[in-house]
Amino acid sequence: MPTIHSHISDLRAALQTYRVAQRIALVPTMGNLHDGHLELVKIAKQHADIVVVSIFVNPTQFGIGEDFDSYPRTLDEDVAKLATVGADYVFAPTIDEMYPLLPPPTTILAGAITKQLCGKTRPTHFDGVGIVVSKLFNIVQPDVAIFGQKDYQQLAIIKQLVRDLSYPIEIIGAPIIRAADGLALSSRNQYLSASERRIAPILQQELQYLAKQIGAVQQPLDVLLSASRERITSAGFIIDYLEVKTTELTAVNDESIHNHQGLVILVAAWLGRARLLDNLLVTIGKVR
Ligand code: PAF
């Protein structure tokens, strides 16, 4: 079983003994762990000797009216799952432990990259992610940290944060883990009703289809995207965004698309109570 700490000082003291000779990995999570999270731990174990998993439903990344109160909190089950993949430590702090003052007067603003995609409808979300991840980095001081590629924009922001603030931490993006029918695993999938759950994989199917069309470069991007948006909407989703970007999340158009080897199609859409996120990497000519 992993050792659980809820105080920063206790975790730091426990990790101190390993620092000199061993590599420490951090897997930041908000708990309610599924196979996707366990995969992050498995990857962490390949890159480090000691794996710390943080479990903290971070209030600063939830906007007003979002699901902070109802977000599933399942610490005992989470710890049992983490034992099966060999996590060494769980850091599960209280809100007071993490935030002596809430909201914290010190902010981390990651700039333009946070203003697009999810940032348009969740304008304070990435500021909250920035501060909590910075704090976790300072608390754990890992050699390596693992984040899922499902939250593609979050991963890009964290890479930027590490670069800009000179954190001596290697960031590893882990591939999306999907259910057998293609739906990207997410703690929020449990908000789906049985009938919505049957519809949900359409999002991934549409990304695959779109990727092939973009790869073939036969139709203008906006024509492809509006046809896709229409199909997703008719299936019952309310689209937040469906966009094609470079892998660095800069804009592309029909002219510039040829200059980029790697593209990413990103989607966020509501299905009932669940806001589903997905993305797919594409190279012109083939789907990755
Ligand atoms: O991806 C998440 O679960 C969260 O945004 C993170 C990185 C753990 C920060 O709270």
Q: With beta carbons less than 8 A apart as the criterion, state whether 149 and 174 touch.
A: yes
What span, in angstroms and rounded, lies between the C-alpha atoms of 101 and 119? 24
Q: Phi and psi dihedrals of 208, rounded to 5?
A: -60, -45
Residue keyed to tokens 């199917």: 205
What span, in angstroms and rounded, lies between the C-alpha atoms of 155 and 110? 12
Low-confidence ranges of the chain (pLDDT < 50): 286-288
Paired strand residues for 275: 270
Catalytic residues: 37
Verdict on whether the full-model pTM lies above 0.85: yes
Q: Rg for the chain (alpha carbons), in Å?
A: 19
pLDDT of residue 288: 46
Does residue 153's CB lie within 6 angstroms of at least one atom of ligand 1?
no
Contacts of 183 (CB under 8 A, 6+ apart): 189, 197, 200, 201, 203, 204, 276
- Helix and strand numbers, DSSP H then E, in the chain: 10, 10
Q: Which atom of ligand 1 is nearest to the CA of 187?
A: 3
Q: With beta carbons less than 8 A apart as the criterion, state whether 278 and 207 touch.
A: yes
Of 91, 98, 140, 151, the residue with max ligand 1 atoms within 8 A of its CB, to mutate for a pocket test, comes to 151
Looking at ligand 1, which residue's alpha carbon is closest to its atom 1?
29
Does residue 108's CB lie within 6 angstroms of at least one atom of ligand 1?
no
Looking at ligand 1, which residue's alpha carbon is closest to its atom 7?
28
pLDDT of residue 214: 87
Q: Which atom of ligand 1 is nearest to the CA of 29?
A: 8
Does residue 53's CB lie within 6 angstroms of at least one atom of ligand 1?
no
Q: With beta carbons less than 8 A apart as the criterion, state whether 241 and 277 touch.
A: no
Domains located in the chain, CATH noted: 3-174 (3.40.50.620), 187-282 (3.30.1300.10)
Q: Phi and psi dihedrals of 217, rounded to 5?
A: 45, 50
pLDDT of residue 285: 52
Does residue 27's CB lie within 6 angstroms of at least one atom of ligand 1?
no
Which is nearest to 237 in space by CA: 210, 213, 263, 205? 205
Euclidean distance between the first and the last CA atom of the chain, given in angstroms as a whole number: 37
Does residue 186's CB lie within 6 angstroms of at least one atom of ligand 1?
no
Dihedral over Cα of 186, 110, 42, 90: its sign: negative
pLDDT of residue 287: 46
Q: Which atom of ligand 1 is nearest to the CA of 151?
A: 1
pLDDT of residue 240: 98
Torsion (CA) 143, 110, 163, 166 in degrees, nearest 10: -70
What letter does residue 123 receive in the DSSP assignment?
T
Q: What is the pLDDT of residues 71-81, one digit of tens each?
A: 999 999 999 99
pLDDT of residue 283: 78
* Span from the CA of 30 to the centroid of ligand 1 (angstroms): 6
Torsion (CA) 194, 200, 201, 204 in degrees, nearest 10: -170
* Span from the CA of 221 to the centroid of ligand 1 (angstroms): 32
Looking at ligand 1, which residue's alpha carbon is closest to its atom 2?
29
* Span from the CA of 244 to the centroid of ligand 1 (angstroms): 23
Distance (Å) of CA 173 to CA 159, 226, 231: 10, 30, 30
Q: What is the pLDDT of residues 155-173, one digit of tens each?
A: 999 999 999 999 999 999 9
Looking at ligand 1, which residue's alpha carbon is closest to its atom 9?
129
E strands of the chain, at which residues? Answer: 3-5, 24-29, 50-55, 89-91, 144-148, 170-174, 238-246, 262-271, 274-283, 286-287
Exposure on the CB side of residue 186, measured as CA atoms within 13 A = 20
